[in-house]
Structure 1
Amino acid sequence: MNNRILFPFLLFILSLNSCSQQDRPSQIEINGRTMGTTYDIKYVMPGQPVSYQEGIDSVLRVVNQSMSTYIDTSIISIFNKSKDTTHWHAVDLHFQIVFMESVDVYVQSSGAFDPTVMNLVNYWGFGFEDAYKNLSLKDTISVDSILKFTGLDLIDYHFNPNQELVLRKKHPNVSLDFGAIAKGYGVDVVSDYLVSRGIQNFMVEIGGEVRTMGKNVNDRVWRIGVEKPTTEFGNDDNEFQSIIELNNSALASSGNYRNYHEINGEKIGHTLNPKTGFPETNRLLSITVIADNAMRADAYATAAMVLGHEKAFELIESNPILEALLVYLGENGEIEVMMTEKMSDLIIEI
């Protein structure tokens, strides 16, 4: 679905097996695929275990039909393919929620998070077009031409009399990509679905983005293991950077070293800078963001990777509902860690 979905940032879910006593609640685990990645969901319920996988898959299909760039008939694909700069496109509630959150993070991050990067994503080979094999990292002319129709200011939007969000292009080639926020939103939608079914204790993970509520079957806060980043692309050591207790909140992690391409012998990560048009290179190796919902955590994690560790830390600290753990290369080439004050209280091992 996007540059971050095809090779998700690896994150491990740590939970203890449910006990065998019949008088204790059951912990149900279901797995599947969505948005070009996998999902893992655990929930605790009393009495006879019930699988909600069919319902979960159903709500995720609805989200994909709204925002997947890999579905030709999705709302986002119809908008992207249109060249009409006079037509107002009506969107559904899922699209509306994600678009408006994207606008907010775009503003807060001074454009580091930008949902109009679809053409850049395709150009660099992280989207649904596979053109990157013939690219040159020095081809500034092609990139500059794409930047002319990149930027959220190229889309008009407002709410019509029915309080429906409608969008209109200012440039015929501007295109949207919610890949850096959609997985998080999917986590939130599934979480809301479980709550609607009376589930009060659960952990939902899609492609590394996580949201929890309540406790696991052993009456303990859900523990999430965050992978230790590496300076080498494609490294699969799978070591933990930290273990975090995630209590009624959401978490998203982002890093460059798993989703990358090699162009003319040079490896490039999937984080694209919306302002330069090129793959971003800075000393930030990975970031883990905790927020009130996974959609927001997902978006800010992407913005942080573009900004680099110093500006990212400033951005996170300026928002009281965000906490973060940043891993970056120090000036001497050694891996260093910085985190917000409350984040240290959530980490039980590092």
Structure 2
Amino acid sequence: MRCVLLFCLAFLLLSSFSKPALKPFHIYGFTQGTSYQVTYYAEDNVISKAQIEHLLSEIDSSLSIYKPYSLISRFNQSASGLQADEHLKSVVKKSLEVSRKTGGAFDITVQPLVQAWGFGTKPVAAPPDSASILLLLKCVGPGKVTLLRNQLRKSAPCIRIDVNGIAQGYTVDVLANYLEKQGIRNYLIEVGGEIRVKGRKQPGGALMSIGIEGPDDQTQGVFPIQKVIRLENGAITASGNYRKFYQSGNKTISHLIDPKTGFPVQNELISVTVWAKNALTADGYDNALMGMGLDKALQFVNGQKNMEAYFIYHRPDGTVADTATTRFYKLME
């Protein structure tokens, strides 16, 4: 009996030592007008590009304002609303929560203004004047959209929503949830710069490294890595005004529109990078923080649980500086 037990113990020990090492697998592609990448660690290739792109296609069919057949496009064209699917319901629910907590700094009903300023689905001949903006503001406001169970309603036909400011973060979370259902415990997912990680690199067990880019005093169309952070769990998303803009005369028109004034956001902030437990939350708040300005944004983040942020901004003399919440510094190398 003793020999049998020793043999069984030896067999178990050998089995544990001979367990196959986890290997990296990579999936790349394009979605939502940008690129995506999925890196996961497993013994075998258990997830295909076709499976990932099927999920991405489902999300596009719900949330893309660039597809006339999508659910969000049908909502925008409707007189009073429609029944939302799980994708649209999840994104709108979070958007309304962020809007409420930030005092309307984030508002998905801003779509008519986004379109008027030339960042929508159709080209515009010129920026809107003040009179046009006043008319459009009548169709903007978080209280003009309600979600009751699965029913997404609007108070007037002119109301249109745009979830581009949060959809990529949501997409990252959908992919992360799918990987975890397949038993994947170590991964990095990125869609358009919005990232979520879990676990560590394999083999070896190193933490995931993420670079944060941004302009500096010498920036001329090239945006160097400003900081590097290392994560084992959570999401990193960013919002900035240094990439997506155009010149109108001597004015720089940013794609970030203040839903209260109807004009592009103008303050000292250049970019905001947010850490949260999931990408939907991080992505929902990064645009809102950009609209608040540095002091108010820092105060807001310091009052939140499970949220940290890093800010790049202009000093009054025009030079570039940065700062972060105390716990965000701990993520940096």
**Same fold by TM (over 0.5)?**
yes
Q: What is the identity, as a one-letter code, of the residue corresponding to 1:278?
A: F
Aligned match of 2:95:
102
Q: Is the 8 A contact 2:36 2:192 kept in 1?
A: yes
Q: Is 1:116 aligned to 2:112, yes or no? A: no
Please name the residue that 1:155 is paired with: 145
Question: Aligned partners of 2:237, 2:37: CA distance in 1, in Å?
Answer: 15
Identity %: 34
1:13 match:
none
Structure 1 stretch 333-342 or stretch 287-296: which is displaced more? 333-342
* In the alignment, structure 1 residue 199 sits paired with structure 2 residue 184: yes
**Do residues 142 (structure 1) and 132 (structure 2) align?**
yes
Q: What does residue 280 of structure 1 align with?
A: 265
Is there any run of 5+ residues in structure 2 with no aligned partner, and where? 1-18
Q: What secondary structure does 2:109 align onto?
A: coil
Contact 2:215 2:222 in 1 (8 A): no
> Secondary structure in 2 aligned to 1:346?
coil
**Conservation of the 8 A alpha-carbon contact between 1:230 and 1:285:** no
Matched, 1:41 2:27: no
TM score, norm. by length of structure 1: 0.86
Number of residue pairs the alignment of both structures matches: 314
Alpha-carbon distance between aligned partners in 2 of 1:92 and 1:109, rounded to the nearest angstrom: 26
Larger radius of gyration between Structure 1 and Structure 2: 2
Which residue is 1:186 aligned to? 171
Tell me how large the CA RMSD over aligned residues is: 1.7
Q: Aligned to 2:108, what secondary structure does the other structure show?
A: coil
C-alpha deviations, 1:86-124, integer Å up to 9, x for none?
xx5110111111111001100111001001011111111
Residue 73 in structure 1 maps to residue 73 in structure 2: no
| Structure with larger RCO (C-alpha < 8 A, sep 6+) | 1
Matched residues in 1 for 2:185 and 2:130: separation? Answer: 52
Instruction: Find the residue that maps to 2:233 and give its secondary structure.
Output: coil
In the alignment, residue 222 of structure 1 is paired with which amino acid? M
Are the structure 2 counterparts of residues 144 and 344 from structure 1 closer, same or farther at C-alpha, using a change threshold of 3 Å?
A: same
Q: Is the 8 A contact 2:239 2:287 kept in 1?
A: yes
With the length of structure 2 as denominator, give the TM-score of the two structures. 0.90
Question: Which structure has the highest helix share of the two?
Answer: 2
Q: Residues of 2 paired with 1:238 and 1:24: CA distance?
A: 37
Superposed displacement of residue 237, structure 1: 2.1
Give 1:267 shift: 2.0
For residue 228 of structure 1, the aligned residue among 214, 217, 223 is 214
Report the equivalent of 1:9.
none
Give 2:309's aligned residue.
324
Q: Which residue of 2 is the match for residue 130 of structure 1?
A: 123
- Contact kept in structure 2, 1:202 and 1:213, CA below 8 Å: yes
Report the Cα distance in structure 1 between the residues aligned to 2:221 and 2:317, rounded to whole angstroms.
24
Moved more, 239-248 or 202-211: 239-248
